[in-house]
Chains A and B, each alone.
Chain A
Amino acid sequence: EAGVAQSPRYKIIEKRQSVAFWCNPISGHATLYWYQQILGQGPKLLIQFQNNGVVDDSQLPKDRFSAERLKGVDSTLKIQPAKLEDSAVYLCASSQGGAAGHTIYFGEGSWLTVV
């Protein structure tokens, strides 16, 4: 079974520039998550989709971050304009959701450095 795919793996941008990350979840998984993980910390949920609808974006800095999940499958996370404190690993994850399963499967992450 293919895992969660993310790209790009690494990105270096200057502050105030924009960046976009792409995620392809495990086939059939209804729930998709974007987490931000700063070095030395646990993953922090940015946004959670159930199919193509947002169920939790309470910790998403909406003035600069946006995410979408078209057709309930792939998702993109965009940051514009980037700040130095956005340097982190952006983890995409998916789960079957609901009573079918709560185990979250993570991708390898997209490493962002803002200089």
Chain B
Amino acid sequence: GENVGLHLPTLSVQEGDNSIINCAYSNSASDYFIWYKQESGKGPQFIIDIRSNMDKRQGQRVTVLLNKTVKHLSLQIAATQPGDSAVYFCAEGRSGGYQKVTFGTGTKLQVIP
């Protein structure tokens, strides 16, 4: 079955440093991958996505890298800020008859001031 998981449950980073959050997936049929940020008491918020035919995509202070050979996805956050403290989920999605999105377990990012 589908399995999307993260390597590290908690990541502590000094403010101003770069953060790298990793994710492993097992479904080669996924068309796209998405990163969500979830702050305490709130619903997940879309950060960035990447299609399976790409290996890198950049946003504002964030970069997502996709390595289909080893089925690995990462989210890089540049110049980490206290407001980046949250739980980050990767999700994989498949198009087709209907969109199907499966979430991983999540990594908690703690930014140390």
Binding site for B on A (CB under 8 A): 4, 31, 35, 40-45, 48, 50, 55-56, 91, 93, 95, 97-99, 102-109
Q: Is the CB of B100 within 8 A of A91?
A: no
Number of residues of chain B lying within 8 A (CB) of chain A: 24
Q: Which of A35, A56, A104, A108 has the most CB of B within 10 A?
A: A104
B38 CB → nearest A CB, Å: 8
CA distance A56 to B100 in the complex (A): 9
Task: Give the residue of B44, B49, B93, B101 whose beta carbon is less than 8 angstroms from that of A91.
Answer: B44
Q: Is the CB of A48 within 8 A of B98?
A: yes
CA distance A106 to B47 in the complex (A): 12
The 5 A-B residue pairs with the shortest CB-CB distance in the complex, in nearest-first order: A106-B43, A42-B103, A55-B98, A43-B103, A102-B99
Residue of B nearest to A50 (CB): B98
Residue of B nearest to A42 (CB): B103
Q: Is the CB of A107 within 8 A of B43?
A: yes
Residue of B nearest to A98 (CB): B99
Judge if B111 is at the interface, Cβ distance under 8 Å.
no
Neighbouring A residues of B45 by C-beta, 8 Å: 106
Neighbouring B residues of A48 by C-beta, 8 Å: 98, 100
Q: Is the CB of A104 within 8 A of B104?
A: no
Q: Is the CB of A45 within 8 A of B46?
A: no
Q: Is the CB of B44 within 8 A of A43?
A: yes
A85 CB → nearest B CB, Å: 18
Q: A31-B99, A97-B98, A104-B46 are in contact. List 12 more A-B contacts (CB 8 A).
A: A42-B4, A43-B89, A45-B101, A45-B102, A48-B98, A55-B98, A93-B43, A102-B34, A104-B34, A105-B46, A107-B43, A109-B42
